[in-house]
Amino acid sequence: MTPRRSRRVARDFQVVIMAKAPTPGAVKTRLCPPLTHGQAAGLAQAALLDTLDAVAASGARRRVLAIDGALGPWVPPGFDVIGQRTGAFGSRLAGAVDDAWSTVPVPVLVVGMDTPQLQGSDLDGAAGALLGGGPAGNRPSTVLGPAEDGGYWAIGTRRPVPGMFEGVPMSTDQTGAAQLSRLRALGVPCTVLGAMRDVDEFADAQAVAELAPDTRFAATLRSMLGGVPAPAPLTTAIRS
């Protein structure tokens, strides 16, 4: 499947994807039942490939995959791969931002693998808000993309902010609000992006597949539910 290319030119930002290796029993377990653990892992891999497509289609100067688990042949060219740090997810996020910045010190936009409907234009829009957003001296220091379930699908910062994730409860319906409050408490300006639905429960998977029917995610879900042939093998690397 060819990435949906953005019309924007390359800009001075990098995108980091926080991802888990699509191992059965370790990812998307809340989709089981009705899916099996193997099916849930296949759907997670399709979502990750769609996300890699979106990042490849964006104008990001650098693309980074921060992985928890083993790599597979699904990692496309054009991505730098780093391991996630250990600890709670907030610590992993902070570590990914720091590690990306320490190698290439340009603004960092972090996304997960739960929004397969994401497009390169969404990332470019987020980067535009992060890099621009007003007259010089009044530009936002961070951006936050809320998820409909109360979490967030993206967070970006012009440079690492010490303690920006401290005290923020992850994977709850208050995560987005708590993150925004934390940034405000630190005196860090934040621009809030448009909301997206992420995939946690099976109803989310159905809704997102309907929203983005041309994605690998949607095709893979259809094949599981209706016996329709899946797209090209999910172990095939995408084109950057």
How does pLDDT run across 35-83, given as a tens digit for each residue? 999 999 999 999 999 999 999 999 999 999 999 999 988 899 999 999 9
Q: pTM here? A: 0.88
Confidence of residue 4 (pLDDT cuts 50, 70, 90): very low
Distance between CA atoms of residues 58 and 77, nearest Å: 15
- 213/12 Cα distance (integer angstroms): 31
**């994977």: which residue's tokens?**
171
Domain boundaries, the chain: 11-224
Confidence at residue 227, expressed as pLDDT on a 0 to 100 scale: 55
What confidence tens digit (pLDDT) does each residue in 84-142 have?
Answer: 999 999 999 999 999 999 999 999 999 999 999 999 999 999 999 999 854 444 455 89
Span 15-25, average pLDDT: 97
Measure the CA–CA gap between 27 and 199, rounded to whole angstroms.
12
At CA 165, angle to CA 160 and CA 171, rounded to 5? 135
CATH classification code of 11-224: 3.90.550.10
Q: What is the pLDDT, as a whole number, of residue 226?
A: 83
Check: CB of residue 116 under 8 Å from CB of residue 199.
yes
What pLDDT sits at residue 5?
46
pLDDT in tens, 162-177: 999 999 999 999 999 9
Quote the CA–CA distance of 237 and 240 in Å, as a whole number.
9
Largest CA distance in the chain: 56
The residue with tokens 């193997």 is: 38
- 237-80-115 Cα angle (round to 5): 65
